[in-house]
Amino acid sequence: MMIKAYRYIKARDAVMRGIFLFCAVFAVLALGCICVFLFAEGLPFIGKVGVSNFFGTKWHLDSGAYGILSMIVASLYVTGLSTLIGIAIGLFTAICLYKFCPAKAVNPIRQLITLLAGIPSVIYGLFGMIVIVPFLRDNISSNGVGYGILAASLVLSVMILPTIVSISLDALNSVPRSYYEGALALGATSEQSVFKVMLPAAKSGILAAVVLSIGRAIGETMAVIMVIGGSPAMPGSLFQSVRTMTANIAMGATELSGDAATALVSTGVVLFCFTLLLNTSISLLKGGFKRESKSA
């Protein structure tokens, strides 16, 4: 009787172990499949059309020109500008919430900012398309075009705010309070201690926030497509219809076939390499952060 029960338990354990193992490797498998698909489809295509064609400036499917350089540049511009705006606003928001905001208001504001992160990106895109683009077109732009890098950057900067604010705030909060008190004791004002002592001490965390938001910005698709314009032209102005790599993939994915569709996969390879680079730098930063806090 006992042996039977024991066997049953053992078998059950084995089954459950199998299930858990499967769950554990599922994500890894998915990553592997995506990588294999991307590189197996995309890389040969780059070889086939030639590196100089693929990284050229001309994208015109009918004449076999698959240059995505203008899109890489547009992606970098949009990502850079949105991160700049996002950091400028987000970092000061975090500092304000950390020290200069009435204590009662901190949590509600934080909650509301976190709520921003929950808004679907297509709604950001819709807002950008219906409010920001016409506003830029009629009031700011000199050439009557509202679409472009600035519109996309503005929309994206709001999207990445929650990431920057919450991670920077956590980083600030994790700096020992004694730093602040020590600075005050040495005669610094509250502002001086926050900006000159607390902020540098939290820099690793803030840097992580920046890299994470860059990752979000470079990969965002839906909101960007709706406000970027979509012309595969080399960016020359903030108010010019351009196309990012993500937009290129999503705009063509349902319509194109044959070589043109494969070109989109190859665009995906380049995009994937960029995000891979970012993720690696995040892990490196995190490693640095840990070592630093150990030595502190």
Residues that bind other proteins (CB under 8 A): 60-63, 100-102, 129-131, 134-135, 137-139, 143-147, 225-226, 229-231, 233, 240-241, 243, 250-252, 255-257, 260
> Least separation, in Å, of the C-beta of 129 and other proteins?
7
Q: Tally Cβ neighbours within 10 Å of residue 269.
A: 18
> Least separation, in Å, of the C-beta of 169 and other proteins?
17
Of 231 and 281, the one with the shorter C-beta distance to other proteins is: 231
> Least separation, in Å, of the C-beta of 181 and other proteins?
23
**Which one-letter DSSP state was computed for residue 59?**
E
> Least separation, in Å, of the C-beta of 104 and other proteins?
12
Of 116 and 233, the one with the shorter C-beta distance to other proteins is: 233
- Cα dihedral 46→50→51→53 (10° resolution): -110
> Least separation, in Å, of the C-beta of 85 and other proteins?
16
Task: Answer yes or no: are the C-beta atoms of 211 and 80 closer than 8 Å.
Answer: no
> Least separation, in Å, of the C-beta of 284 and other proteins?
37
Name the burial class of residue 150, with classes exposed (0-12), middle (13-18) and buried (19+) by CB atoms within 10 angstroms of its CB: buried
> Least separation, in Å, of the C-beta of 63 and other proteins?
7
Residue length of the chain = 296
Of 214 and 227, the one with the shorter C-beta distance to other proteins is: 227
Task: Answer yes or no: are the C-beta atoms of 72 and 270 closer than 8 Å.
Answer: yes
DSSP, collapsed to helix, strand or coil, labels residue 150 as: helix
Question: How far is Cα 269 from Cα 41, in angstroms, rounded to an integer?
Answer: 9
> Least separation, in Å, of the C-beta of 109 and other proteins?
11
Task: Answer yes or no: are the C-beta atoms of 205 and 170 closer than 8 Å.
Answer: yes
Task: Answer yes or no: are the C-beta atoms of 121 and 198 closer than 8 Å.
Answer: no
Question: How far is Cα 201 from Cα 5, in angstroms, rounded to an integer?
Answer: 58
Backbone angles phi, psi at 209, to 5 degrees: -60, -40
Q: Tally Cβ neighbours within 10 Å of residue 84.
A: 13
Q: Which residues pair with 59 in a beta bridge?
A: 66
Q: Tally Cβ neighbours within 10 Å of residue 147.
A: 24
Of 144 and 187, the one with the shorter C-beta distance to other proteins is: 144
Of 250 and 282, the one with the shorter C-beta distance to other proteins is: 250
Of 99 and 203, the one with the shorter C-beta distance to other proteins is: 99
Of 135 and 179, the one with the shorter C-beta distance to other proteins is: 135
Of 149 and 212, the one with the shorter C-beta distance to other proteins is: 149
Question: How far is Cα 78 from Cα 206, in angstroms, rounded to an integer?
Answer: 20
Question: How far is Cα 96 from Cα 94, in angstroms, rounded to an integer?
Answer: 5
